[in-house]
Structure 1
Amino acid sequence: MLFGICNLSIVPIRAEESDKSEMISQVLFGEHFKIIEKQKNWSKIRLAFDNFEGFIDNKQYLEITEDFYNTISKETPTYSGEILDFVTNQQNQLTTIAIGSQLPSFNDGHLLLGTQSYSYENAFFSGKNTKSEILKIAFTYLNAPFLWGGKTPFGIDCSGFTQMVYKLSGYNLLRNAKDQATQGEVLSFIEESEPGDLAFFDNEEGEIIHVGIILNDYNIIHAHGKVRIDTLDHSGIFNADLQKHTHKLRVIKKMI
């Protein structure tokens, strides 16, 4: 088994081993993974955080040892806290990073990617946050454009948004909405929900296709065209701009 870590800011994960293939997610700087299949130009990887699988370009990651993989898997993760920032390596070269990038073996402003040392001097997240802090993090992504497979304020999808907000708060959600819906505790009514709980929505076939974070006063923040705030009722999401319901409510889950 081989192991790797992302040493670039944002790397696409593809459904197949081709630049033309659909981007199904992204790997952010500092995220580590198992390499479950290595070909000439592409590797199939499994992310340590959520076991998500897909293909990335062999030129866009750094191989690490199994010992280093296990070390950072056991530590409490630290994530960058600025929307856009940078790390500096020993050669004084800058690498831009987006909020939610992982800072492996972070200590006193320094981090490691294998044998390469970097410095990082700004805000970061580590440990578990309260639900009120979850909402503050969610607002950081407000107006981020929708991007299928995206995980950053420069492009994000609905489940990438909920996953990243909870990730920065110290909690693990799976990558896709239908999988996140298998986690947590079911609530019977909207009235039982609290700000920070998740609401899931389905299509005509009953497949869960959307997720958002419940706010105060029966509002919801979610990625639909952009990360936006709309009204949540027993039917689903009501979009004031369009003056209609855009998503049909399926279930509300308490994750923490």
Structure 2
Amino acid sequence: MKTEKEKIHFTDKYLLNPTNPISVNLIGGGGTGSKVLTALMEINESLIALGHAGLQVRLWDDDIITTANLGRQRFFECETGLYKSVALINRINRCIGTNWKAETQKFEKDNLGRIPEEARAIITITCVDNVQARFEVAEILKIVSYRRSYHNHPKYWLDFGNSQHTGQVILSTIGKIEQPKSEKYETIGNLPFVTDEFGELLKQSEQEDNTPSCSLAEALQHQDLFINSSLTQMGCSLLWNLFRRGMTEYKGFFHNLKDYRTHPIKVA
């Protein structure tokens, strides 16, 4: 009887042995994004210790820190009134001596439909709080992927999304990633965009009330205290394994913190 091969996605080879730090666009610096940035710092330091070139991160967020952001997000009272992106990136740069960048604007086309040059990165990570923003990011990534160049050619999109107690992390490829020949595995070079594969589910799950919270207590009515941290650790572990193992049999997961269940999504 013929045994079905396990499906595996092998990491793009440039990520494993790059000549320069891997460019990363992190979109959103709130409850999840602020914690993902810390995880990226840990990944960067670990990669460098292993002889890798590390990461070069650019954080996009046009929000200003308010008292409602304190506690659940990684901000302090002395930072209120500052841009989230600037406060977070300055803290990381002072901590580990990096030259990561902050953008105090949204990741979007301008009024003339032009895409910022900085929109091109090898890895894009989204931690946005609405579905429309995901579809806009997807549109931009599809456009920049057609403008081929060796430097900073987009490869992966990692999307984080959550409601009060549940969330998901989905890994997508931006175009097809060349796969090695394998007798042991069935290699999968294309992982569909979250907006293509789960677009209808995202639209159905979007909360109707997206108004900003005025206090931490009010914010906790929308998102539980540890849902962002829980998603961050598991989602960034998926990213870390792309670098460390050079392959993954999973492209994400659905997570329910209320009853402590996680459902992995296999590469298919």
Q: Which has the higher strand share?
A: 1
- Tell which has more relative contact order, 1 or 2 (C-alpha 8 A, sep 6+): 2
TM-score scaled to structure 1, two decimals? Answer: 0.30
TM-score scaled to structure 2, two decimals? Answer: 0.29
Q: Which has the higher helix share?
A: 2
